[in-house]
Amino acid sequence: MNIRAAVEFRSVTKVYPGRWFGRGQLMAVDGVTFRVEPGEVCALVGPNRAGKTTLVKMLLTLCRPTAGEVFRLGRPSADRDTLARVGYVHENQAFPRYLSPVEVLAYYGALALVPYEAVCRRAPALLERVGLADRQREPLSQFSKGMIQRLCIAQALINDPELLVLDEPSEGLDLPGRQLVRELVQEQRARGRTVLLVSHVLTEVEQVCDRLAVLVGGRLLHHGSAKKLRTDARTGAVRTLEQTLHSLYQTPSA
């Protein structure tokens, strides 16, 4: 029996139009095909402007593919009913600064169709988990970047998502915060949940991910285990992930 993928891209292409009569078009994603299985932690890695964020946007229906198909939790991405089952950490989250952490979680819980009683039950535990229990009633205007990032992680979990999409979740976090991200990802996997992680932190990728998809110049160059990527097919020599990715990033398409 064919199990539906949690995330699937089928020959997906995204072209952004040029500013002057179609000239200077940008090919952000070029014929990308891969899938993330239920319960899997998959990293999406690549240099800047590789197309990673564009893939995430298409997955979350923030933009549409020019060609190809995108599926989320077994349904076409255009089916917005599945969005309430997704948690998302944006790389540059901008919460209203006058809200408190409790109010942020209540707001995002409502957006994700979580009953108010469930939000009230989950919020204190989540804020405790991310280290903000003692600041839960304070306005965000008094928060540092790292504290905002911790809150962003909490809001992504308020709906107990089946699919968790993390776009640079460790941005602005200290060492304990980065350890928290790794622990939360591992907890999600242990519960059979799916995680798509976009990250430049290679130690994070190697420690928590089952597979990784490498994008360079909008094209998928690898989808599989990090160990397989690091092993030279001809000699059997094993390089570090940093060395391997650096070599891939030097391809002409980069």
CATH assignment at residue 188: 3.40.50.300
Average pLDDT over residues 92-98: 88
What's the one-letter identity of residue 9?
F
- Count of structural domains within the chain: 1
What's the pLDDT at 1?
46
pLDDT at 239 over 90: no
Structure tokens at 118: 């469930």
Which token pair is 247?
A: 């070599």
Q: Considering only CA atoms, which of 62, 81, 86 is closest in space to residue 7?
A: 86
Give the pTM: 0.91
Of 247, 245, 251, 250, whose CA–CA distance to 46 is shortest? 245
Place 103 in a pLDDT band, splitting at 50, 70 and 90: very high
Whether 178 is in a domain gets the answer yes
pLDDT-based confidence at residue 89 (cuts at 50, 70, 90): very high
Residue 3: per-residue pLDDT: 72
Q: Let me know if residue 2 belongs to a domain.
A: no
Return the number of other C-beta atoms located less than 10 Å from residue 183's C-beta. Answer: 12
**What is the domain extent for residue 87?**
7-249
Residue 254 lies in a domain: no
Distance, in Å, from the CA atom of 8 to the CA atom of 18, rounded to the nearest integer, reads: 28
